[in-house]
Amino acid sequence: MDEPWDTFEGRALFLSAGYPGHKRFSDPEKQEENRRFVADSLPERIREAVVQLAQAAFAKGVTIVFGGHPSISPIIAGAATRLGPLKSGDAPRIVLYQSQGFAREFTAAARQLAQRDDTVLVVTPKVGEREENLLLMRQRMLGAVVRPSQPFVGAVFAGGMDGIYAEARLFNETWPERPMFALGATGAASRVLAEHGLDAFGMPASRFAGDSKLHEPDLFRKPRWRSIAAAIAATP
């Protein structure tokens, strides 16, 4: 029997992931939330999840769309580097979004990705302060894919902080019929989504099809990954 990936070749999968890091906030509640994200983060599992997702997607011609998080770009670049050049007519393997408002923060890995022939770089304009720039980038990122006739087949969330919540809300608003998978075993914001959801936005934990009891380090070569692929493949 064909692997589930074979049924949605040429479509796009949204990835929202990141390694939580210490930040300073004037709001005590935000500062405490940041502390919890960092304490609960599982970097090795986040990395393994992204590596396995990228390798599985690229092998089946599925495009990964993501926001170029500084900690995730090097992992995606490494997975793509192991592959040969694209064949004529193939969809890009990667669509990388960045905001001009963060031009000074473009990482070497993001620049390396942008120079690849299998990557499309989309830079959204600077429109104001940090949050305004992030919102515009996310709206563009989740409202258009490489081939508009080939919609997102789903979204995967790993690790991360409050940006994971923002992207989960926007994906849910834009693609309410598409599955969302929060990998609770990677910790941090994705664990919160898997265990509790975002009830304030009408998104219970069941919306994320998560499994916080997952402890396998090889996240995507085990039955859990096959269930994700099968569920995405079953969407209309």
How confident is the chain (236 residues) per 10-residue block, as mean pLDDT? 55 91 89 93 89 82 86 86 77 88 76 82 90 91 60 88 94 87 89 88 82 44 58 57
Report the predicted TM-score, pTM, of the whole model to 2 decimal places.
Answer: 0.86
**215/120 Cα distance (integer angstroms):** 34
* Three-class DSSP category at 85: coil
* Three-class DSSP category at 119: strand
Question: Can you give the pLDDT at residue 195?
Answer: 87
Question: Can you give the pLDDT at residue 18?
Answer: 93
Q: Residue 213 carries which side chain, given as an amino acid letter?
A: K
Question: Can you give the pLDDT at residue 218?
Answer: 46
**CA neighbor of 72 nearest in space, from 25, 119, 16, 31:** 16
Question: Can you give the pLDDT at residue 214?
Answer: 42
Beta-bridge partner residues of 65: 14, 95
**157/169 Cα distance (integer angstroms):** 12
Question: Can you give the pLDDT at residue 229?
Answer: 62
What token pair was written down for 53? Answer: 């997702």
Question: Can you give the pLDDT at residue 9?
Answer: 62
Half-sphere exposure of 3 (CA within 13 A, CB side): 15
